[in-house]
Structure 1
Amino acid sequence: MDLDFSDNFIAKGKISIKELATKYKGDLDKEAGKKMLLDEKIKLRELQERLYADSGKSLLVVLQAMDAAGKDSLIEHVFGGVNPQGCEVHSFKTPSSKEYSHDFLWRHYLALPEKGKIGIFNRSHYESVLVCKVHPDYNLNEKVWNSVSDFDDKFWQERYESIRNFEKHLSENGTTVIKIFLHISKEAQKKRFLDRIDEQDKNWKFSMGDLPERALWDEYMKAYERAINETSKDHAPWFVIPGDDKWFARVAAIQIIIDALEGMDLKFPKLSEADQKELEGARKQLESE
């Protein structure tokens, strides 16, 4: 089955979050999807090995979503088969006092993947135009502005511009950037929250702070819509994946990631003639022992 998830879910032009599906309605069924995921994990590991050997490029995968959308489990199921030496996950929580003492991108620069590696941002620099847009008073922790009234449209436009410039700089210096938004419905989030409450082994996942944030659902959807529209570029595209069915979100995500790696034209290093002669000498020495 030939499914082009990269083309189907890329955010082109101006999107409307309300008009985008949260549930997969295609022909792929769950069992076939699970098998496809296993096959694609083998391909992803092979591509990661090639990325590591090439050592001239890197991949940054940005994951954003509402609470309970399945970011953590997606990382586990998609990247569970890759070599951990070539893949790093960074989960960004509320900035520390030290992080607040720098510009909002500083801590994200520190977490960027080295050449030859895959970096995963579980939440990211976009929190500064998502959570901080819904709660603008959070920006006061940066101690640069005096009041919430400072956060006008000009302020937000400058934030989007900083993010666009940051990602453009990365793309021009060997890092491919792809950004994935797991788009779930409010109903799906409710069900997952109730599962966390009802199932004892999931109780630890639930926080009472989740409910006040859920009450701001519409404000978050507006913030996501604008952030995606302002920052989805050819060199750093956004992909909006239906997230109500976790199995499907994982299949779509891994294929988008594989497409990005395949587009990097990765090659295993070729040895020079002198190096090949040295290898042949090493072979002879070993065989003579």
Structure 2
Amino acid sequence: MHSCPKHIKHLVVKPGGKVKLDRIDPREVDFLGKEDKARAQLAEDIVEIDRLQDRLYAEGKRSLLVVLQGTDTAGKDGTIRGVFNQTGPLGVSVTAFKKPSEDELARDYLWRVHHAAPRRGTIGIFNRSHYEDVLIARVRKFAPKEAIEARYDQINAFEKLLVDNGTIILKFMLHISKKEQAERLQERLDDKTKHWKFNAGDLEDRLLWGEFQKAYELALGRCSTEHAPWHIVPADRKWARNCIVAAVVRDTLENMDPHYPKVPWKASDFEIP
């Protein structure tokens, strides 16, 4: 397991622990210090993530999977832009999991997820993920209750398989308040350039806020493991959300310590004609 930066270690969900999201303030980010200094640290972390990702890509032996989950408007897209936009595109893949296709529904629910797992040498980012199958599937009753119950252990086993084969996994639950979600949904209605982001179905899910929160609490508690920990990220403040994710990603890459591969020759052996 990676070592989370000291000032945000409390965000990691302990394996087997119970989670109460209503006891976690989505705006409480005093542990980050002053905003201007946190933003400066974010800028440094972004540069270092790019440098470490280049080494990871060159090494070509391991991979990093970043899972982003959260209610609608929690900032999954914004986190990807804010943390990974400066990272070399060759070594980063982003998969946005939407409603399963007919072909995907004809297979087991993890099939499309395993297919999208990052190649060695790359960072893979999941915008939503296999956790939809114990979140929306649970709330909307898209599968029998006993099938949903079995999925927590199946997901843990699936993630252990990835880890055992060289993939480090980081999971972030972007935790926003119902009030903040309302403001962000209203922004999408007020700004014509954001109309494409608005989905009337989000309003239906909002009516089920309490049920979704309970589903998240179950998933966080039952699927935070030593090999694939969950981090609950206070996400009402976008800058703080990005600072936290970037700090954990950088710390994890530093712990992985990828190296450029050695070559069986010296530069002096060659002369460019």
Q: Same fold (TM over 0.5)?
A: yes
Per the alignment, residue 19 of structure 2 pairs with: 15
Query: Which position in structure 2 is the counterpart of 1:160?
Result: 152
Q: Does 1:71 align with 2:60?
A: no
Deviation at 1:223, TM superposition (A): 0.2
2:108 counterpart residue number: 103
What does 1:139-158 align with in structure 2 at a 5 Å threshold? 139=143, 151-152=144-145, 154-158=146-150
Partner SS state of residue 263, structure 1: helix
Equivalence map 1:178-217=2 (5 Å):
178-217=170-209
Q: Distance in 2 between matches of 1:5 and 1:63?
A: 21
Equivalenced residue count is 266
* Pairing partner for 2:265 from 270, 276, 279: 276
How far the C-alpha of 1:43 sits from its partner, in A, is: 0.6
Question: 5+ unaligned residues in a row in structure 2: which ranges?
Answer: none
**CA–CA separation in structure 2 for the residues paired with 1:156 and 1:196:** 33
- Aligned mate of 1:85, from 81, 84, 90: 90
- The answer to whether the 8 A contact 2:94-2:125 is kept is yes
Name the amino acid aligned to 2:85.
G
Bigger radius of gyration among the two: 1
| Shift, 1:22, TM fit | 0.6
Q: Deviations over 1:93-150 (max 9, x none)?
A: 00000000000000011111100000000000000000000011x23xxxxxxxxxxx
> Which digits, 9 at most, give the CA deviation of each residue in 1:181-225, with x for residues without a partner?
000000000111111111222222212111110000000000000
Residues 223-262 of structure 1 correspond to what in structure 2 (within 5 A)? 223-262=215-254
For 2:265, what is the secondary structure of its paired residue? helix
Q: Deviations over 1:30-74 (max 9, x none)?
A: 332222221111110011011111111000000000001111011
Aligned to 2:99, the other structure's residue is in SS state: coil
Give the root-mean-square deviation of aligned CA atoms: 1.4
Contact 2:29 2:240 in 1 (8 A): no
Match of 1:59 among 59, 64, 67: 64
Give the counterpart of 2:43 among 38, 46, 60.
38
Cα–Cα, structure 1 residues 79 and 23, in superposed 2: closer, same or farther, change >3 Å?
same
Q: Give the TM-score, by structure 2 length.
A: 0.93
Distance across 2 between alignment mates of 1:129 and 1:218: 15
CA distance in 2, matches of 1:256, 1:89: 18
Question: What is the CA–CA distance in structure 1 between the aligned matches of 2:121 and 2:208, rounded to whole Å?
Answer: 40
Task: Give aligned-pair identity as a percent.
Answer: 40
Query: TM-score with structure 1 length normalisation?
Result: 0.88
Q: Which residue of 2 aligns with 1:29?
A: 34
1:125 maps onto 2:130 in alignment = yes
Q: Distance in 2 between matches of 1:234 and 1:29?
A: 31
Give the match's secondary structure for 1:276: coil
What's the secondary structure of 1:64's corresponding residue? strand
